[in-house]
Amino acid sequence: MSAVEPTRPPEENSRRMELIRAAASLFRDQGYERTTVRDLGNAVGMQSGSLFYHFRTKEEILVAVMALGIASTTEQLAAALAQAAAPRDKLAALFRVHLNSLLGDNQAALEVMLYEWRSVSAAAKPALVVLRDRYEALWQQVLDDAAAAGMIKQDTRLLRRTLLGSLHWTVQWYRRDGELGVDEMAERMLQLVLFE
Amino acid sequence: MSAVEPTRPPEENSRRMELIRAAASLFRDQGYERTTVRDLGNAVGMQSGSLFYHFRTKEEILVAVMALGIASTTEQLAAALAQAAAPRDKLAALFRVHLNSLLGDNQAALEVMLYEWRSVSAAAKPALVVLRDRYEALWQQVLDDAAAAGMIKQDTRLLRRTLLGSLHWTVQWYRRDGELGVDEMAERMLQLVLFE
DNA sequence: GTCTATATAGTGATAGAC
DNA sequence: GTCTATCACTATATAGAC
């Protein structure tokens, strides 16, 4: 499988990345504050003290989870947009990529980024904000193009914020065992914003 | 001012309510987990041990904050809907009441209800869910009427969830010191969903 | 109803052996 | 790179005086 993801850095398969992924699930399920370093060690089969060989603090783990969540989502969105030609298809990509990154299998990191923001220290925020702004800039561009094509409302800056809010909040009510699939829901949410 | 709110229970002015309001602010600003009982006592000028005369556990305070947040918002919405006649005015009331309850002065309780849900024990959730469902039922009725009148899209159940998500998320980006007032923003967000 | 004092348990992080 | 052992601290909650 090594040839499948040739562009990823080598740390992808390291112990450190294994820890980040385990932390993402725990932080999502229990919250950052309620997850102890003992929980984290347990999840990867090591003692809590050993974690601090890989990370200096618990917060450093949180930041790594968040950076992974937003960066990998941005990567996926950029790839999807590159493949889509029509404005309608680019719009659809926004919804589809975001919801899959949030609600899909083994996708916990983006949710942590969105919902544990308060636990990030002031020192660590700027770097994450840069990543988030990069993601939202992709959104803004697609929305502006769609508005120019007369497909959606013109108030695109507020529209971007309301749409992202709608999508972010799905984690609070979406049930994976329900009738509605993620891609299907992405399409229906897109329909709500299109003129026709 | 006692005649202004004649229907409120007597506990409104009690020490208990004072504590609930202080807790709402602290939980909103720092999060429930990061707020200690010492913080809470400090905020109302008492020792941490004294809190437990009024509440059995810290979680009981959280639940009281949430119940206040959702119940008082429901009350305000019901009152606003009773005064609005046209479907357009009822729609506007949904946005206006919700945003003011979330972003207005001294309005912390609803935000706590929305963002600290994970810290509520399974035993305490059902009672809060009843209150939340009552609030959302008001929304659903107004949206159904507006859709029947041809003012908004027909997929009103998903629309309710996306709109509430949009509104909930405003706390993450809205700046009270910015240019945009709460009522003005409510109107613009309404515009985004109206056919014309 | 509030205080002081404290029980009980858990937390993040460190030091040094291996 | 991981383990064992533990430090230093903080948390919620309780007991009994006032």
Could you list the pLDDT tens digit for every one of the 196 residues in chain B? 344 444 445 565 689 999 999 999 999 999 999 999 999 999 999 999 999 999 999 999 999 999 999 999 999 999 999 999 999 999 999 999 999 999 999 999 999 999 999 999 999 999 999 999 999 999 999 999 999 999 999 999 999 999 999 999 999 999 999 999 999 999 999 999 999 7
Summarize pLDDT for B84-107 with one digit per residue, the tens: 999 999 999 999 999 999 999 999
Nearest to B118 among A31, A163, A167 (CB): A31
Instruction: Give A114: exposed, middle or buried? Use CB within 10 Å, 0-12, 13-18, 19+.
Output: buried
Find the Å distance, CA of residue B116 to C1' of nucleotide D8.
Answer: 30
Architecture per CATH, B59-192:
Orthogonal Bundle (1.10)
Rounded CA–C1' distance between A36 and D7, in angstroms = 18
Sequence-distant (≥ 6) Cβ neighbours of residue A44 within 8 angstroms: A15, A18, A19, A22
Q: Which residues of B touch A (CB under 8 A)?
A: 30-31, 33-34, 115, 117-119, 153, 155, 158-159, 161-170, 172-173, 185, 188-189, 191-193
Q: Which value, to the nearest 10 degrees, does the dihedral of the CA atoms of residues B141, B146, B150, B151 take?
A: -150
Is any atom of nucleic acid chain C found less than 7 Å from the CB of residue A30? no
Residues 6+ positions from B137 with CB-CB distance below 8 Å: none
Question: Where are chain B's structural domains?
Answer: 59-192
Rounded to whole angstroms, how far apart are CA atoms B111 and A64?
Answer: 27
Percent of chain A residues topping a pLDDT of 90: 92
- All residues of chain A having their beta carbon less than 8 Å from the beta carbon of residue B191 are 153, 155
Q: What is the pLDDT of residues B157-177, one digit of tens each?
A: 999 999 999 999 999 999 999
Contacts 24+ apart (CB under 8 A), A124-127: A124/A59, A124/A63, A127/A63, A127/A67
Long-range contacts of B68-72, Cβ-Cβ distance < 8 Å, separation of 24 or more: B68/B20, B68/B24, B68/B109, B69/B24, B69/B101, B69/B108, B69/B109, B69/B110, B69/B111, B69/B112, B69/B113, B70/B110, B70/B113, B70/B128, B70/B131, B70/B132, B70/B135, B71/B131, B72/B101, B72/B109
| CA B156/CA A53 separation, integer angstroms | 52
User: Which of B41, B60, B170 minimizes the C-alpha distance to B111?
Assistant: B170
Question: CB–CB of A70/A135 below 8 Å?
Answer: yes
The Cα A136–Cα A35 span in angstroms is: 29
Nearest to B31 by CA among B152, B118, B160, B146: B118
Whole-number pLDDT of residue A6: 45
Measure B14 CA to D9 C1' (Å): 35
Shortest alpha-carbon distance between residue A62 and chain B (Å): 16
pTM metric for this prediction: 0.94
